[in-house]
Amino acid sequence: AGRSKSAGGDVEALTSKQEWTVHDHVDDHLWFELYLQRNAAGYEIQCLGKDGEPQAGVPVSLSIETCLAMEPIQATLTTDASGAVLLGQLQDVQSIFASTGGLERRWDLPHQSGAQYPPELDVIEGEELELPSFGTQACIVELTPSGEPIKTLPDKIRFEGSMLKVAGLPRGHYRLQLLDEVPIHVRVHRGKYWQDGYVLRHDAILESRDRPNVVAFTSAEATLDRVAAQLTGAGPATRVHILGFRFLPQNLLELVEALRQVAQERFSTTTFPFQMWQNILQSNVALGDEMSYVLRRRKAERQVGNMLKKPSLLLQPHAVRDTSFAAEALSGAGVFMQQVERAPAALHAMCQAPMHAMCQAPMHAMCQAP
């Protein structure tokens, strides 16, 4: 129960109700139960009676499914004096099925790290990417803009404690693959951060305002009287949820998934491209002779040969005319004579002067510079 104050200042009482069913095994016809727990030695199955007393010498049939084999591993083990069946660390194991005396139990183990990674990340060149990691296996692949792989970049990845760091990526597209996790699409932009949540590029502005900080546990310690954990990237809105079990529940994955749905971060990235002009059309402009010559030669029909004088029957011809020199006068670019329409003086000044300055000066500089 609690209280909440509305925008108008009114105090409203809030309540929440949740029911849990506790199974006491009083009416069960079975005189024992199977439990799965994990300790420093690994996983073990406990066979306990209704009063919690260990049941020794009970045969337990096991069926273990792994992600490395198509068929499950079958085995039958007997509980020891403490009523336990030791299973070890169970690397790459997805589920355990145990049965004995008509009792059947199944546990699905979380084979993933439990971390929640974003499907896409946007960084700029020179920025170091940091993500929490629960292992030492990761791979980053350079991609084409269409998503085709080009090559792997193992020298760009390093592990420091519980963090994975990626640095030195040039502009482009990449796929970061962590062990047993969904691949992350990394886009590296050439630009800089602008204001809060924007990336300024030469051709667009990238908005990513709702992206949360990367929160990770750098260390954790559990003792008899307290649980201590150190976080990185935490803020005022960060909440830590701790689930403690002596025996692992059979719906462990459902509990973890429900908790992840509550704390799931949703964000989007929006790109605002700039208008990139490829051509500028200017009317009422006369091109200069030089620019006209270049355009005519560019569109002229290609022919085999050259423009030299054709040979004649004379072996040693001599020119008998006098040599003359003449300078070619090239005309520059300019604007045509504009017809002044009958319009108010203010409108005429607003339309004529800017058009004349825009059309004459840039084209004149473009044509006369060579």
pLDDT band at residue 223, thresholds of 50, 70 and 90? confident
Q: What is the dihedral of CA 242, 246, 249, 254, to 10 degrees?
A: 10
Please tell me the predicted confidence (pLDDT) of residue 343: 42
Helices 345-368 + 289-299 axis angle, to 10: 70
Residue 215, pLDDT above cutoff 70: yes
196: DSSP letter: T
- Which range in 102-111, 141-150, 204-213 is most confidently predicted, on average pLDDT? 141-150
pLDDT (0 to 100) of residue 272: 80
Looking at residue 347, its pLDDT comes to 39
CA dist 36 and 247 (Å) reads 5
Q: In the predicted model, is pLDDT for residue 346 greater than 50?
A: no
Q: What is the model's pLDDT at position 278?
A: 63
**pLDDT tens, position by position, 149-171:** 999 998 998 888 778 889 889 99
State the pLDDT confidence band at 96, using cuts at 50, 70 and 90: very high
pLDDT exceeds 60 at position 138: yes
Phi, psi at 42, each rounded to 5°? 125, -155
The one-letter amino acid code at 348 reads H
Longest CA span, the chain: 132
Listed ranges 46-50, 205-209, 318-322; the one with the highest mean pLDDT: 46-50
Instruction: Report the candidate in 259, 264, 272, 235 with the shortest Cα–Cα distance to residue 118.
Output: 264
Mean pLDDT of the chain: 77
Report for 77-81, 120-124, 205-209: range of highest mean pLDDT: 77-81
Distance of alpha carbon 342 from alpha carbon 347, whole angstroms: 10
The residue with greater pLDDT, 5 or 103, is 103
Mean pLDDT of 43-50: 89
- In whole angstroms, how far apart are CA 153 and each of 130, 135, 141, 280? 16, 18, 6, 43
Q: Return phi, psi of residue 310, to 5°.
A: -70, 145
- Mean of pLDDT values over 109-114: 64
> Residue 207 pLDDT more than 60?
yes
Whether 341 shows a pLDDT value over 60: the answer reads no
The CB density around residue 98, as the number of other CB atoms within 10 Å, is: 22
Please tell me which of 29-38, 270-279, 317-326 the model is most confident about, judged by mean pLDDT.
29-38
pLDDT (mean) for 349-369: 43
Say whether pLDDT at 356 is over 50. no
Answer whether residue 344 shows pLDDT above 60. no
Residues in the chain: 370
**Residue type at 335 in one-letter notation:** V
Assign 173 a pLDDT band (cuts: 50, 70, 90).
very high
Sign of CA dihedral 341, 343, 346, 347: negative
What is the Cα–Cα distance from 166 to 129, expressed in whole angstroms? 5
CA atoms within 13 A on the CB side of 239: 8
pTM of the model: 0.51
Is the Cβ–Cβ distance between 250 and 105 less than 8 Å?
yes
What pLDDT, in 10s, does the model give residues 277-329?
A: 666 666 677 778 888 888 888 887 777 777 777 777 777 777 777 777 777 77
Neighbours of 350 (CB within 10 A): 12
Amino acid at 67: C
With cut-offs at 50, 70 and 90, classify the pLDDT of residue 60. Answer: very high
Q: Looking at residue 80, what is its pLDDT?
A: 92
Q: What is the pLDDT of residue 268?
A: 65
Tell me the CA end-to-end span of the chain in Å, nearest whole number: 82
State residue 244 phi and psi, 5-degree precision: -120, 130
Cα angle 45, 47, 51; round to 5: 135
Q: Do residues 332 and 370 make contact, with C-beta atoms less than 8 angstroms apart?
A: no
Q: How far apart are CA 31 and CA 40, in angstroms?
A: 29
